[in-house]
């Protein structure tokens, strides 16, 4: 097995590296990577992005949103969390057990003082609290296993970045998550910075691995994959399955409710209802929104055109726009 490293904190880059190696027959070995990211929400392959994230918090705090190739749930990471990836060959198309990949990680963590154990599903725990989620993806010949390690992550931001149906549950949510998840830094025999922790893990897991250096040609192809796929709205948002969305709120001008049918990231049906007073034909506005990408820029653009003379009495454009996401 060979080790791949790069000084890059973009999750889209690392997902592109995984995909590139998985599909490139020139990479004949098996590979290990230990990497981290800027604050990021990693969306599972089959999840509805907008149902998983707190869009306002994500926008205000510049949290990156990237869909991965593997299934499973959404996870939050930041520079004080680490991700590990194993890329191996398949053996006659067989599936591989999660423990095959988590075992060496657990053993390395134990050597650093962390009481790590596998929970027989896809998580690694310490004193019955989760600090590592794992996911898998395969092609015809290749197998990818990747997982996360909460080392010293901001748990409050982890909670706030995820979707919350009602703001009054945020504080309870933070308390609940703190009871179920943990950072592992407090368990370390010797306290380390996040960077020191990665060096220790690489020493324990990859000290005997030869370094695989990606060529400029490799990096160029990886950049193309990153840009065209993992940094694209179509993949991260438009790839979401068909869904119905209903969101309502009472403003100074009355209650407004927006109902949407969204498929492949496009708004197929729009209905705006409530006890408000409208300055324009709401039916025409609904029709002008249908067919748009379910994207703030597209929706806000149409609303701004219609708002020259106002749409709803005492409801601002930003208040109305907030109900579409």
Return the pLDDT at 242: 84
Find the range with the poorest average confidence among 30-34, 69-73, 90-94. 90-94
For the stretch 121-151, pLDDT in tens is 789 999 999 999 999 998 888 999 999 999 9
Return the pLDDT at 180: 85
User: Is the model's pLDDT at 47 over the cut of 90?
Assistant: no
User: Is the model's pLDDT at 322 over the cut of 70?
Assistant: yes
For the stretch 168-196, pLDDT in tens is 445 555 566 667 899 999 999 999 999 99
pTM of structure: 0.81
Return the pLDDT at 312: 86
For the stretch 254-307, pLDDT in tens is 889 999 999 888 999 999 998 888 877 888 899 999 999 999 899 999 999 877
Domain 243-324: give its CATH code.
Answer: 3.30.390.50
Cα–Cα distance between 162 and 52 in angstroms, integer? 6
What integer best gives the mean pLDDT of the chain? 90
pLDDT category of residue 51 using cuts at 50, 70 and 90: confident
Return the pLDDT at 168: 42
Q: Regarding the domain delimited by 2-238, which CATH topology (the fold level of the hierarchy) does it fall under?
A: BirA Bifunctional Protein; domain 2 (3.30.930)
Q: How far is CA 73 from CA 134, 173, 308, in A?
A: 9, 17, 42
Cα–Cα distance between 183 and 150 in angstroms, integer? 5
User: Is the model's pLDDT at 241 over the cut of 60?
Assistant: yes
Q: Are 122 and 171 in contact (CB under 8 A)?
A: no
Question: Which among 266, 254, 228, 224 has a CA at the least distance from the CA of 314?
Answer: 254
Residue found by looking up tokens 């009472």 in the block: 250
Return the pLDDT at 94: 62
Return the pLDDT at 262: 92
CB atoms closer than 10 angstroms to residue 16? 23
So where are the chain's domains? Answer: 2-238, 243-324
Return the pLDDT at 52: 87
Q: Which helix (H) or strand (E) holds 216?
A: helix 216-225
166 or 321, which is more confident:
321
Q: What's the mean pLDDT in 27-33?
A: 97
């Amino acid at each position: 097995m060979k080790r791949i490293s790069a000084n890059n904190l973009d999750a889209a880059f690392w997902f592109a590296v995984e995909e590139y190696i998985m599909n490139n027959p020139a990479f004949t070995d098996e590979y290990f990577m230990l990497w981290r990211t800027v604050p990021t929400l990693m969306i599972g392959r089959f999840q509805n992005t907008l149902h998983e994230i707190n869009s306002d918090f994500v926008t205000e705090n510049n949290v990156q949103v990237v869909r991965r190739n593997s299934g499973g749930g959404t996870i939050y990471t930041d520079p004080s969390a680490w991700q590990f990836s194993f890329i191996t060959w398949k053996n006659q198309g067989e599936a591989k057990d999660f423990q095959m990949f988590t075992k060496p990680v657990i053993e390395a963590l134990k050597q650093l003082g962390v009481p790590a154990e596998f929970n027989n599903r896809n998580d690694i725990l310490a004193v019955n609290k989760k600090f590592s989620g794992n996911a898998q993806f395969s092609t015809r010949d290749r197998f990818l296993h990747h997982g996360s390690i909460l080392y010293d992550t901001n748990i409050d931001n982890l909670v706030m970045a995820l979707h919350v149906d009602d703001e009054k549950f945020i504080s309870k949510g933070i308390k609940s998550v703190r009871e179920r998840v943990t950072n592992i830094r407090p368990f370390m025999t010797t306290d380390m910075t996040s960077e020191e922790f990665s060096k220790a893990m690489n020493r324990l897991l990859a000290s005997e691995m030869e370094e695989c250096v990606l060529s400029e040609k490799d990096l160029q192809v990886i950049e193309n994959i990153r840009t065209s796929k993992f940094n694209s709205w179509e993949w991260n948002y438009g790839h979401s399955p068909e869904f119905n969305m209903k969101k309502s709120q009472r403003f100074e001008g009355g209650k407004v409710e927006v109902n949407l049918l969204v498929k492949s990231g496009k708004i197929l049906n729009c209905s705006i209802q409530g006890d408000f007073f409208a300055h324009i034909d709401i039916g025409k506005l609904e029709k002008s929104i249908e067919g748009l990408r379910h994207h703030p820029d597209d929706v806000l653009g149409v609303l701004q055109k219609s708002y020259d003379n106002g749409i709803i009495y005492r409801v601002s454009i930003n208040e109305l726009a907030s109900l579409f996401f």
